[in-house]
Structure 1
Amino acid sequence: MSALLAFDAVSLVLGGARLLDRIDLTVGPGERVGIVGDSGAGKGWLLKLAIGLAHPGSGSVRLMGQDLATTDADARRLLRARCGVAMQGGSLLGELSIEENMRLAIGTGGGRVARRIDRLLLEFGLEQAAATRADRLSIGEQRRAELARAFMRDPELLILDEPFEGAFARGEGLEAQVRRRIVPQGRALLLLTQDMVLAGRLCERLYRLERGRLLQQAAADTVPAATS
């Protein structure tokens, strides 16, 4: 079965510096892949490249089997609609309520959509904030709203960039909620994070993004060292 997401020798140069250097990566159906890197390592650019919001300097990116460099804007939007995405820093429209942001993500109305929104807001602990403007939410609430929205279209592939950032009080429960929506349903996941231990809990295949290159990590590398 073909990969849902594939990077082939992808490089990216910004401001004269090589941020990504011949990245090769595939995420197949049902695979859970984690990429760990420090702040500024380029993880956010990997997300943008993966969904066609940016283009590599060289190499190719295929989403759902389609080369993003050869698809038009409408085709890229349709491909992105098959993904659930949560960006670090957020992408909610601040002047809209959580419910309005959720509706915007799916582009249709009706009772079935309303029930789906209600169910997701309840699962992510936001049922009391449905009518609240996104720019009036706490950082933790914004992260939960981003995650709830990511599941609106029953995505084949989740691409999550620091999904639990700022959600410390509910982080453990939020992680379990995301796991329940990914693992039993066999959804694919690309997790971008600074936290190797978190990546080890959620993902089966792990990489470290370092100096623009992807270095595969063994599962044992995610276990914290014993302290004396």
Structure 2
Amino acid sequence: MAAVGATDAPPEAWENGYLADAAGIIGGRWLKYWTEAGSVLSSVGLFEAQLSSGAFQLLGMAELGLLPSVFARRGPGRSATPWVAVAASAAVSVAVSFLGFDDVVATANLLYSLGALLEFAAFLRLRAREESPSSLKRPYRVPLPLPALAAMCLVPSAFLAYVVAVAGWRVSAVAAALTALGVGWHGAMRVCRSRKWLRFNTAVAADHRLQLQDAPPPPAGRV
């Protein structure tokens, strides 16, 4: 905001990278170079954070038996870096690098929107079911009736549906391909687990299912 007020640049001049030029106009070359260095370090830090987040998601899924145990391998030393999961996350980043920045952001937003809509639908379906499975634990219940919950989910769902509707053909194609890949990968993992083609961490998964089976049924009316 300070840069906008301190410069007389027209709106069309504010393209990618112009913030450094604005800093140079305000404070000179040293501020321009400092802003560029800060932008580079910020981008690197954001990428590393996203890479680590995706890698540890793969690690957790492998520890739960949802992915082959190879994704749970850690490197030697005190850091115990999950190097296989990091390499897999980096490979995905390289695979989508052929897209432009706008397409990558739009694809990520589209996939997030589809996932959020699925979560809302599952939430309303669980509340609408007359009988819930006794193995499903519900330590908290949203204190609203079903019509109010539907109205609550309607507002964000409208925005998410708009994001899905305005996506371009390239973004929609990439999102559809990734969604199909996820569904196919899930089926392939089930086949590999049942036929023992790959090694899975079945101990944690079995213990998790046992805890769900031993859980007491929720009180009547708590869905």
**Which bracket does the TM-score occupy, shorter chain normalised?**
under 0.3
Name whichever structure is richer in helix by fraction: 2
Name whichever structure is richer in strand by fraction: 1
Query: Relative contact order: is structure 1 or structure 2 higher (C-alpha 8 Å, sep ≥ 6)?
Result: 1
Structure (1 or 2) with the larger CA radius of gyration: 2
